[in-house]
Structure formats: structure tokens, C-alpha cells
């Protein structure tokens, strides 16, 4: 498994766009100091914080894993070669299920959330439309108007901008595939 630290990916995307830490801080509402800690792998942001950083850089979580190389018609990503990010705060592992150009329309990831893991302290806006399918375990999805327990095989579509929070209150890990549309 190709494991990557979030910091290097954030720095590469930020510098590739010619942005300063202060500019990204203004876009996210985070301090430049916090973003510097993230870039130096001294802070482990929550999933919702990572989404805010990604949105400020104009990408999705999945795009953190993408490269600017040209794509063939079909690109296979072997399970053993998935690029992975870890969020200690969220108690989650996020694996890219795609590879390719940053301008693709679908961005699939699989999120493995440990017991007690969550995407953030409170519901946060979905940056893009999302489809999610629970592969194993169960997870509580809190939206702006409800709280639902989703079990293995359950699926949900979340509109862009809708507030949502994922939480695993169980004693077992849970896996969810999340596909963001652009």
C-alpha cells in the first residue's frame, strides 16, 4: 500500500497553485500556523477539516491522491497500490479508489473508520455532491435535518452544500465508499 502523509500533498497542491499559507488560511478559516503544522505532518486534521483545505485548494479529498499524468481509457488501481491518508483525529484511513487527472468528474474513496471515529465535531457542508455506500459495519449519518444509522449495504446521496457528519459509535471498524461528483 502506498502510504502518504497529508502534509506533503497539501504543500504540493498549494505551491503548485502559487498560494501562500496565509492565502489558504483565509480561504479555510484556519490559521496559517495550523496549516503549517498540517504541511509538516505535526497536526492531524479531521476529515471535515481536510475537506475544507481541499476545497480551498479547489480539489476534492480524492484529488489529494490524483496525479496530473495523462490517463488511458481505463486505469486500474490495485488494492495493494492504493494511495492512503490517515487522520488520527478522525480515527480514519482514507484510500483513493482512482488514479488520474485532477479534472475527473468522479472522485471515489473508501473510508475506514475505527470505533469512535468521526468526520468532525459537528456537521460540515459537503463540498460537492456525494454518494456513499456502507461496505461493512454501521455508521451514524447526521445531516441538517436528521440522524440516521446506516448499515452494511445502505446507500445515501448527499447534495452539495448539505451539512453532514459521519460517526462510528460501534465497537467495530466501519467501511464506507464515498464518491464525490464535481
Q: pLDDT, tens digit, for every residue of 84-136?
A: 888 888 899 988 887 654 446 778 999 999 999 999 899 989 888 999 999 99
The whole-number pLDDT of residue 29 equals 94
The residue extents of the domains of the chain are 1-182
Q: Which residues of the chain have pLDDT under 50?
A: 1-4, 67-72, 101-103
Q: In terms of pTM, does the model score above 0.85?
A: no
Residue 172 CB neighbour total at 10 angstroms: 10
| DSSP per-residue codes, the chain | -EE--HHHHHHHHHHHTT--HHHHHHHHTS-HHHHHHHHTTS----HHHHHHHHHHTT--TGGGS--SSPP-SS----GGG-EEEEETTTTEEEEE---S-TT-SEEEEEEEE-TT-BS-SS-EE-SS-EEEEEEESEEEEEESS-EEEEETT-EEEE-TT-EEEEE--SSS-EEEEEEEE-
The whole-number pLDDT of residue 11 equals 85
Q: What is the CATH number of domain 1-182?
A: 2.60.120.10
The whole-number pLDDT of residue 67 equals 33
User: 47 with 113: CB under 8 angstroms?
Assistant: no
Amino acid at each position: 500500500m502506498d502510504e502518504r502523509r497529508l502534509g506533503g500533498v497539501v504543500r504540493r497542491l498549494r505551491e503548485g497553485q502559487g498560494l501562500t499559507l496565509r492565502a489558504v488560511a483565509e480561504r479555510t478559516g484556519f490559521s496559517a500556523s495550523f496549516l503549517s503544522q498540517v504541511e509538516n505532518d505535526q497536526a492531524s486534521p479531521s476529515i471535515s477539516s481536510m475537506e475544507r483545505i481541499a476545497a480551498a485548494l479547489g480539489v476534492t479529498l480524492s484529488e489529494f491522491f490524483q496525479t496530473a499524468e495523462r490517463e488511458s481509457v481505463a486505469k486500474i488501481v490495485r488494492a495493494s497500490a492504493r494511495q492512503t491518508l490517515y487522520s488520527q483525529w478522525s480515527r480514519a484511513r482514507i484510500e483513493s479508489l482512482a488514479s488520474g487527472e485532477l479534472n475527473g468528474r468522479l472522485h471515489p474513496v473508501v473510508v475506514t473508520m475505527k470505533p469512535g471515529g468521526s468526520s468532525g465535531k459537528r456537521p460540515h457542508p459537503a463540498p460537492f455532491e456525494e454518494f456513499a455506500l456502507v461496505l461493512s459495519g454501521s455508521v451514524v449519518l447526521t445531516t441538517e435535518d436528521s440522524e440516521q444509522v446506516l448499515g452494511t449495504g445502505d446507500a445515501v446521496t448527499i447534495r452539495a452544500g448539505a451539512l453532514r457528519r459521519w460517526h462510528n459509535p460501534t465497537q467495530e471498524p466501519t467501511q464506507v465508499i464515498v464518491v464525490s461528483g464535481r
